[in-house]
Amino acid sequence: MKTEDDPLDPNPPRALRSALEAIRELEATVLATKGPEGVVLRYGVLYGPGTSLGEGGSIVEAVRQRRVPVVGCGAGVWSFIHVDDASAATLIALERGAPGIYNIVDDDPAPVVEWLPALAAALGARPPWRLPALLAWLAVGEHGVTLMTRARGASNAKAKRGLGWRPAYTSWRAGFRKGLAR
């Protein structure tokens, strides 16, 4: 799992390196800006109404149609956040957030091999297929395979401590069962 201070992978695959460098540069610029103090919020994978992981969303529909497989061993760890919890954290950060970087995620980072079948079950869909990483690489490239096999979750400990924020959906498990629709 990623640390609470810097969950960005220090040794990303080539395809992600420039994007991560740009994110780090932007965050450093925000934090170094004179005048208004900078607060950076790093959101987990958003789910719930109005998102691709909400009722009628593109990912939900792809999971229902079994078009999202578990790639390789499915060891990539994802951190999720319900849109309502992301909104609440944002308001708190605007009102009283101390300068810094905060991960806005739930309490339960999970590997793809765990959360993807649970999402399918919550949707009443059949379990996802399993696809070897090499075949997936041909279809979705290095970035897609990395997300499914090497991603690391994030900790919300600093946001809880520094913002006094607590997610209503402490786990994607309950969120997937109860929080995808309006």
pLDDT tens-digit series, residues 131-159: 999 999 998 899 999 999 999 999 999 99
Residues 107-145 as b or e (16 or more Cβ within 10 Å = b): ebbbbbbbbbbebbebbebeebeebebeebbeebeeeeb
Q: Is residue 48 part of a domain?
A: yes
Q: Is there a contact between 182 and 55 (Cβ–Cβ < 8 Å)?
A: yes
Q: Residue 21 has what pLDDT?
A: 82
90: pLDDT strictly greater than 60:
yes
Residue 24 is assigned to a structural domain of this protein: yes
Residue-averaged pLDDT of the chain: 90
**pTM for the model:** 0.82
Looking at the domain assignment, is residue 173 inside a domain? Answer: yes
The enclosing domain of 88 has a CATH number of 3.40.50.720
* CB-based contact 81:106 (threshold 8 Å): yes
The pLDDT of residue 16 is above 80: no
Q: Per residue in 31-76, pLDDT tens?
A: 777 766 788 999 999 999 999 999 999 999 999 999 999 999 999 9
- Quick one: pLDDT at residue 34? 72
Q: Which domain holds residue 33?
A: 14-178
Q: Could you tell me if residue 61 is inside a domain?
A: yes
Residue 8 lies in a domain: no
Which pLDDT score, from 0 to 100, does residue 149 have?
Answer: 96
In a domain, 3, yes or no: no
Query: Vertex 134, ends 52 and 119: CA angle to 5°?
Result: 30
Please state the rounded mean pLDDT for residues 25-30: 80
